[in-house]
Structure 1
Amino acid sequence: MRTILVVDDEWAIAEVLEALLGDEGYRVIVANNGKQGLERLAEWRPDLIMLDFMMPVMDGPATFAALKADPKTASIPIILMSSLPEETVAQRCSGYDTFLRKPFRIAAVLEAVNKALG
């Protein structure tokens, strides 16, 4: 079973993603911010990370940089999620696998996950 780590401070979004992806057969681990997301990596090795751009404690760009700097996590595909335009997000984060604009449709989420996982 493939595992997806969802890192998002908006509980409603994390809950929807957890239910949607769980129904598709994925194991879903949720973290409320980047710091907690990095802590979850000590327990789980996800096949994909869905990372929110704007969060308290440790935001998406800082979390993204930490993930890419660690050889153990650098190769994990990342879907970056934000309500901001992709051009704005790309100024602070480059090298993510897929961008998902919030609010998103279920079909867009599944397409992004399939694309990121190959």
Structure 2
Amino acid sequence: MKTILVVDDEWAVAEVLEALLGDEGYRVIVANNGKQGLERLAEWPPDLIIVDFMMPIMDGPAMLAALTANPGTSGIPVIVMSSLPEETVAQRSSGYKTFLRKPFRIAAVLEAIAKALG
């Protein structure tokens, strides 16, 4: 069973993703911000991380930088979610595999996960 870490400060978004991905057969771990997401990595090493771009405490770009800087986590594929245009996200961060535009459709989420996991 593949494990997906969902990092989003919007509880409703995290809850929907947790339910959707759980129904698809994934183990889902949820964190409210990048700092908490990095802490959860030690508990349950994920096969994929889905991270929101804008969050309090530690945002998506800061979490991506921390993941990339650590040899133990730099190989984990990351999907970045945002309501901002992908060009804006790409200018402010790097190291992610796939971009997912909010609000998203279920089919788009599943397609992004399939793409990121290869």
For the criterion TM > 0.5, the same-fold answer is yes
Deviations 1:43-101 (A, max 9, x none): 11100000100000000000000001000000000000000000000001123100000
% identical equivalent positions? 84
For the residues of structure 2 that align with 1:108 and 1:52, how far apart are their CA atoms? 15
For the residues of structure 2 that align with 1:18 and 1:95, how far apart are their CA atoms? 23
The 3-state SS of whatever aligns with 1:80 is strand
Query: Where in structure 1 are there 5+ consecutive unaligned residues?
Result: none
List structure 1 segments (4+ residues) > 4 angstroms apart after TM superposition: none
State the Cα RMSD in Å.
Answer: 0.5
Deviations 1:23-43 (A, max 9, x none): 000000000000000000111
Query: Where in structure 2 are there 5+ consecutive unaligned residues?
Result: none
For the residues of structure 2 that align with 1:49 and 1:35, how far apart are their CA atoms? 13
Q: TM-score, normalised by structure 1?
A: 0.99
Q: TM-score, normalised by structure 2?
A: 0.99
For the residues of structure 2 that align with 1:60 and 1:116, how far apart are their CA atoms? 17
Higher fraction of helix: 2
For the residues of structure 2 that align with 1:43 and 1:95, how far apart are their CA atoms? 22
